[in-house]
Amino acid sequence: MSTIQNFFQEQGFYHARGVFSGRELELMTVDFERIVAQIRTSGEAIDATWVGPEMEKRRQQGDVVLHTHNVQQYSAVWLRAMLQEQFLTIATELLGKDIILHHSKLFYKPAEKGSPFPMHQDWSYFPSEKDTMLAAIIHVSDATDEMGCLRVYPGSHKLGRLADSYGQIDSEVLAKYPLEGAQPVEAKAGDVVFFHYFTLHGSKPNRSPHIRKTVLVQMHGGEDRIEAGITHPNEQLVLSGWNHHMTRSRANVVK
């Protein structure tokens, strides 16, 4: 077992430093800003701020976090980022040679008014049959704790599927695993933080004078698939290897 695999298996996350840099990161940043500008003028609902009792405790008036799914549908630069060699080398260490993109999403946490996210697991939003799902947060900007960087409970992925762990209701999970007790994972632009979808995670608000810019890539193994009846965006794009569950009818699904 590699160092990366061992750390991820024990901690439920892995911080890869300097995956993107130089001209590549510059182009990703340019297209990130272009996507933000485009969704701002779309007239659509683009604020992904959550609701619920925990948010009412933490949110201030005017807090927002701008969001869209599937940056690869906007930008070839971002599609190439998901196929970048170093990025996929780490992803295959964690998932094996077959990797399926479930979805990606952009988060723009504005300076001073960036919304928090309560502690939660991701599994209930898009459960997969074999629970191989993980996320990779690509940092387009630096992310400090003051900017509302990712916070995790190391090893919490070993708890498995927790009931009422989706973060938008009062629950035993929020009471037992408060945001303040989680470990901040501060990162630099170009870093990628991978974490399992059982890993308890959240983030504080951005009260800094800097914008926090991230793109989250949600992936699962090629022999896994999303449970029936889930309506979350599901790209089923093969990033590496093979999709063992693809059929003609699934490939023809109109979204």
SS3 annotation, 53-98: HHHHHHCCCCCECEEEECHHHCCHHHHHHHCCHHHHHHHHHHHCCC
pLDDT value, residue 241: 98
Tell me: the pLDDT tens digits for 224-250? 999 999 999 999 999 999 999 999 999
Residues 94 and 134 sit within 8 Å (Cβ to Cβ):
yes
pLDDT at 253: 78
170-206 burial, b at 16+ Cβ within 10 Å, e below that, comes to ebebbeebebeebebbbbebbbbbbbbbbbbbbbbbb
d(CA 108, CA 36): 8
Collapse the DSSP code of 245 into the 3-class scheme (helix H, G, I; strand E, B; otherwise coil) and give the result.
Answer: coil
Answer yes or no: are the C-beta atoms of 192 and 90 closer than 8 Å: yes
Which domains are present in the chain? 3-251 (2.60.120.620)
For the chain, where are the alpha helices, taking DSSP H only? Answer: 3-11, 22-40, 53-58, 76-82, 85-95, 172-176, 248-251
Written as six digits, the tokens of 96 are: 């094996």
pLDDT digits (tens, 9 = 90+) for 166-196: 999 999 999 999 999 999 999 999 999 999 9
Question: Of all residues in the chain, what percent carry a pLDDT higher than 90?
Answer: 95
Q: What are the residue ranges in the chain where pLDDT is below 70?
A: 254-255
pLDDT at 1: 79
